[in-house]
Amino acid sequence: MEKMFLFWMTAFSLLVVLVSSVDAKGDGTGGRPGKGIAFALETSSIKNGEKQVPLDQEIKLSFSHNVVHPGITQQNKAAISLLDHAGEDVDIEIHLTDDQIDSEKQREITIKPTDPLTKGTTYRLQIEPTFQAENGMTLDEPIELAFTTESVPKQTVQAGFIVIGLCAVGALVSIVARQKKITDT
């Protein structure tokens, strides 16, 4: 009885190993229709040439194919850089969700500067042609998105309006109080 149990457990384990070793890469489109689609950037949360980008802006990119498979993660991270106006690298965090954990995010990358960007400065996000999809396709040419950060952060502008509003209310109260004094005398 024990030998039979051991035999079936060994056979089952061998079957699991054989089935899991089959390579089921697919066409790299992430299950979307369109086999043979060129590998490219489809959408970006910032547009090339955009102005007034917030200083702490996350940059979200969506590609035509799966770009977050564990086998290509490090290579793809190395192909992405953010440069300041002088061409110096800016420290960034690159977030790629493991496609084995969340297949809905397999075509998406989020890039965030580790420190707030400098106001009124032009930056360039660059993605080298070595950036690749899970199926091995690479970009036809490098991608570059240039953008300029806001000159005055929105919070500063909003705070300025609050201060101006409070001053206006104070002035009105003062005028009303004076008018009341004049009419009381």
Share of the chain above pLDDT 70, in %: 62
Its pTM surpasses 0.85: no
CB atoms inside a 10 Å sphere around CB 108: 20
Determine the Cα–Cα distance for residues 131 and 108; give it in Å rounded to an integer: 13
- Pair (70, 105) in one structural domain: yes
Say if 9 falls within a structural domain. Answer: no
- Pair (101, 185) in one structural domain: no
Parallel, antiparallel or unpaired: strands 80-83 and 122-127? antiparallel
pLDDT of residue 152: 81
Determine the Cα–Cα distance for residues 119 and 161; give it in Å rounded to an integer: 19
Determine the structural domain holding residue 99 and report its residue range.
28-151
Average of per-residue pLDDT across 24-34: 49
Say which residue, 185 or 120, is predicted with more confidence: 120
- Pair (112, 169) in one structural domain: no
Average of per-residue pLDDT across 73-99: 93
Tally the domains of the chain: 2
Q: Could you tell me which residues are beta bridge partners of residue 111?
A: 59, 94
- Pair (165, 136) in one structural domain: no
- Pair (141, 70) in one structural domain: yes
Say if 140 falls within a structural domain. Answer: yes
Average of per-residue pLDDT across 80-108: 89
Distances (CA, A) of 27 to 20, 49, 61, 131: 19, 33, 20, 17
Share of the chain above pLDDT 90, in %: 53
CB atoms inside a 10 Å sphere around CB 103: 14
